[in-house]
Structure 1
């Protein structure tokens, strides 16, 4: 149930983290083979005689971490009645997203041929956007706390 603006920011952070499942982090083309890094693994597309085949090296720990960080942001939406707990969970989620982004960069180095000449996809920038949404959610919580304190002062 959307009660406050921070719920919208947390929902946008969740959507951003879910988009990381389908958008590439890095892409590189070597000798007609296109390699892409996603959070679920390394995908390689080979072009030979108009036949394209797909080879996948799975990254299950990275995939599970992506789902867990997105789930944490989504579940935190429902803590709107306990603002201090919600704020602490958001701060933990920001640290987790930062660690997840660092871990994605380590996995991106596993692209064949290294990162030299690779182009970063939209997925490489989404953790920063998710962190921005979490920070905006904290600002919304602080605004609610100030409003409640001023209403109590008027009583």
Structure 2
């Protein structure tokens, strides 16, 4: 059902990847300009995919197994996104490009934690349904 705790976790993951990323910069360049994810097309595509997967997972609350698989795929995409953020910030030469890292760079970690909590709640619901089926 839509009022379950995993839906709350999924909604918070949606807020982290879909809403907060619009307002929080990934880093600040050496010129003092904030760098948002929309300035790189690859980041925009990956964040769009993770946001879309979160919304699809919220909508498919009746199919717990599909929800579980979508969340795992979403976790993998967020790990790839986090890896790209870290790679870009560490691989660039010194102060040439990235001057200061922003909080937006670590929002995929928040999304991953929330998706893991949602998967634990989905697994708990699935185990409860299976135990009730055994009693019949």
RMSD across aligned positions (CA): 2.1
- Rounded Cα–Cα distance in structure 1 between residues aligned with 2:80 and 2:124: 28
Structure 1 spans left out of the alignment, 5+ residues = 42-58
Q: Does 1:34 align with 2:32?
A: yes
Residues 37-64 of structure 1: per-residue CA shift (max 9 Å, x gap): 21012xxxxxxxxxxxxxxxxx122112
Three-state SS of the structure 2 residue aligned to 1:27 is strand
Q: Does 1:138 align with 2:119?
A: yes
Q: Does 1:13 align with 2:13?
A: yes
- Rounded Cα–Cα distance in structure 1 between residues aligned with 2:111 and 2:79: 10
TM-score by length of 1: 0.76
Which of these two proteins has the greater Rg computed from alpha carbons? 1
What number of residue pairs does the alignment pair up?
133
Q: Which structure carries more helix by proportion? A: 2
Q: Which structure carries more strand by proportion? A: 1
How far residue 123 of structure 1 moved from its aligned partner, in angstroms, is 0.3
Written as runs of structure 1 = structure 2, the 5 A alignment for 1:111-122 is: 113-115=96-98, 118-122=99-103
Structure 2 spans left out of the alignment, 5+ residues = none
- Rounded Cα–Cα distance in structure 1 between residues aligned with 2:131 and 2:8: 24
Which deviates the most, 121-130 or 103-112?
Answer: 103-112
